Amino acid sequence: MKDMITGINHITAIAGNAQRNHDFYTKVLGLRLVKKTVNFDDPGTYHFYFGNEQGTPGTILTFFPWEGMQAGRTGTGMATEIGYSVPAGSLDFWAERFKALNVQHGPVAEKLGETYLPFQDPDGLQLQLIVPKKTDTRQPWETAEVTAQHATKGFHSITLTLKDIDATAKILTDIFGYTLLEQEGNRYRFITGAADNAAIVDLVAAPGTPAGVVATGTNHHVAFRVANEEVQMNFREKILSRGLNITPRINRDYFFSLYFREPGGVLFELATDNPGFTVDEPLDALGSALKLPPQYEPIRADIEKVLPILK
């Protein structure tokens, strides 16, 4: 299993107001702020990581909160739905909670034999709480209001909406080792046997749908999980052999990354498990301090003046 793609590592999206984004994911959804850092290419913008206690791969949703950015538009060529795994019997709790907190949400529905509750974050990002067919045994992060009985366990799936799924499906099957599990209408579910959770990618064929616009309220990229740099670089060679452009390895402090755009237009990342989020602060203090990449430490004071103050 170590030389395979082992599911989703993390998903990165774009938000607007930083405080609003922080409060929704920590207070409403009950996730842990695992890391508070900055965008490597725009250090005047936060990069938030929300997940479980340790920031385990497969639980981490990250955001670039760009204040004042225009709203994006979901469409083809992007990841359009993020699915979180939740315990059986918890959807009524979440529906009531969303109603009480004025969270935009739809009715409980079913697809591919699983019940789910669709909802949106304050920027319009499309998410779903899904009760998986197979019990998810991952330990969630708990808060006083969102206990383990109802808390999210981490990712269930990611949905990619595409004009044509064929070329993307070949990346998943021929390179990443996924297999087609089942189909319902224009939704095709792919799964990897190398992971117990965060293992599903749904491809939705939508040939008549306009291309999406990546901005506030949309997904920026999807990161797939590899054990270490050696495995990662082996996959880089496989991707290059398909004639696709892929970046050199980039050190993101908490993992190493490669990026490429798959044929359907979605930005994919391959991210390592190592070194993890405790590399620069202890487990019990994760997310409590602003952590900067080494190249920005000399201008920390200037960065802190620009970043919004979180309450």
| Residues in Cβ contact with 58 at an 8 Å cutoff, skipping those fewer than 6 apart | 7, 8, 9, 138, 154, 155, 195, 197, 198, 225
Question: 1 in a domain, yes or no?
Answer: no
Question: 107 in a domain, yes or no?
Answer: yes
- The pLDDT, as a whole number, for residue 137 is 96
Over residues 190-217, the mean pLDDT reads 97
User: Among candidates 143, 162, 161, which has minimal Cα distance to 151?
Assistant: 143
Over residues 110-134, the mean pLDDT reads 98
Question: 2 in a domain, yes or no?
Answer: no
- The pLDDT, as a whole number, for residue 3 is 85
CATH of residue 244's domain is: 3.10.180.10
Over residues 204-208, the mean pLDDT reads 97
Over residues 35-47, the mean pLDDT reads 97
- The pLDDT, as a whole number, for residue 84 is 98
Q: Order the strands of the 187-191 sheet from edge to edge.
A: 109-111, 114-120, 126-130, 78-85, 154-162, 200-205, 187-191, 179-184
Question: 311 in a domain, yes or no?
Answer: no
Does pLDDT of 287 surpass 60?
Answer: yes
**Where does the pLDDT of residue 234 fall: very low under 50, low under 70, confident under 90, or very high at 90 and above?**
very high
Question: 91 in a domain, yes or no?
Answer: yes
**Where does the pLDDT of residue 1 fall: very low under 50, low under 70, confident under 90, or very high at 90 and above?**
low
Does pLDDT of 120 surpass 70?
Answer: yes
Give the tokens for residue 145. Answer: 């209001």
Phi, psi (deg, nearest 5) at residue 238? -65, -40
pLDDT tens digits along 65-81: 999 999 999 999 999 99
Over residues 124-150, the mean pLDDT reads 97
| Residues in Cβ contact with 194 at an 8 Å cutoff, skipping those fewer than 6 apart | 1, 4, 5, 6, 7, 177
Question: 165 in a domain, yes or no?
Answer: yes
Average pLDDT of the chain? Answer: 97
Residue type for position 24? F
User: Among candidates 296, 20, 23, 29, which has minimal Cα distance to 143?
Assistant: 29
Question: 3 in a domain, yes or no?
Answer: no
pLDDT tens digits along 17-31: 999 999 999 999 999
Give the tokens for residue 257. Answer: 């990354």
Q: Order the strands of the 8-15 sheet from edge to edge.
A: 32-39, 42-51, 60-65, 8-15, 219-226, 267-275, 255-261, 250-251
Over residues 185-199, the mean pLDDT reads 97
Does pLDDT of 2 surpass 80?
Answer: no
Percent of the chain with pLDDT over 90: 99
Give the tokens for residue 242. Answer: 């398909």
- The pLDDT, as a whole number, for residue 55 is 98
Residue 86, domain extent: 8-306
Percent of the chain with pLDDT over 70: 99
**Number of structural domains, the chain?**
1
Question: 28 in a domain, yes or no?
Answer: yes
